């Protein structure tokens, strides 16, 4: 990755929150369906597109979770009708994920951004500035989509886990499991 000037990084750090604050939703967010949607499910819907398919593995890597964890979450969203899961036309082993029309409606209703405030903000720009701004946002979004997760995986291997999935504390030894009665009868 090329070295970036600190001023460019600081500009993004300063400007993105300002834009998000100006366009934030002021009313309470509710789903028109009446069904509950977890914050994690809402984040998954935010990552999917209606036209450009995403693989389950790519989505899992993008959100820094394992493929089995993502598979469970996607299964629920497919059952609710928010996500379409289709076989890839070229590689039948691969599953392509896209947002369904119902998923688009739910994503709009759970967005932290108010479309009216976004429209007002964009309306303050000249046509040429609006085009430049949208190109820049699209470029940042594309870069974010293709970025490999680094924060959770760059720190090395995950901590050992117990049988129920909880992280073991490092520096402690664990007792060996007791042998079952059946194993001793051989």
Q: Give the pLDDT score at 72.
A: 94
pLDDT value of position 26: 64
Residue 177's region, left for phi above 0, alpha for psi from -120 to 50, else beta, is beta
Q: Confidence class of residue 132 from pLDDT cuts 50, 70 and 90?
A: very high
CA distance 61 to 81: 23
pLDDT digits (tens, 9 = 90+) for 111-121: 777 888 899 99
Task: Determine the 3-state secondary structure of 167 from DSSP.
Answer: strand
Question: What average pLDDT does the structure give for the chain?
Answer: 75
Give the pLDDT band of residue 147 (cuts 50, 70, 90): low
pLDDT of residue 69 exceeding 50:
yes
Residue 119: the pLDDT is: 92
Residue positions counted in the chain: 186
CATH class of 28-111: mainly alpha
What confidence tens digit (pLDDT) does each residue in 73-114 have? 999 999 999 999 998 888 888 889 999 999 998 888 777 778
Of 109, 118, 106, 119, the residue nearest 24 (C-alpha):
118
pLDDT digits (tens, 9 = 90+) for 7-48: 888 888 888 888 877 877 665 444 444 566 777 888 898 889
Does the pTM exceed 0.75? no
């Amino acid at each position: 990755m090329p070295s970036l000037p600190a001023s460019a990084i600081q500009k993004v750090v300063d400007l993105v929150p300002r834009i998000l604050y100006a366009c934030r939703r002021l009313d309470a967010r509710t789903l028109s369906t009446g069904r509950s949607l977890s914050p994690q499910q809402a984040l998954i819907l935010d990552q999917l597109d209606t036209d450009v398919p995403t693989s389950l593995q790519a989505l899992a890597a993008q959100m820094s979770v394992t493929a089995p964890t993502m598979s469970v979450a996607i299964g629920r969203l497919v059952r609710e009708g928010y996500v379409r899961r289709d076989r890839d036309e070229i590689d039948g082993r691969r599953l392509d994920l896209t947002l369904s029309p119902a998923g688009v409606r739910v994503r709009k209703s759970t967005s932290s951004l108010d479309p009216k405030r976004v429209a007002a903000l964009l309306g303050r720009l000249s046509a040429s500035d609006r085009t430049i701004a949208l190109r820049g946002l699209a470029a940042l979004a594309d870069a974010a989509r293709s970025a490999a997760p680094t924060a959770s995986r760059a720190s090395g291997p995950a901590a050992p886990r117990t049988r129920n999935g909880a992280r073991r504390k490092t520096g402690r030894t664990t007792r060996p499991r007791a042998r079952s009665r059946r194993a001793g009868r051989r």
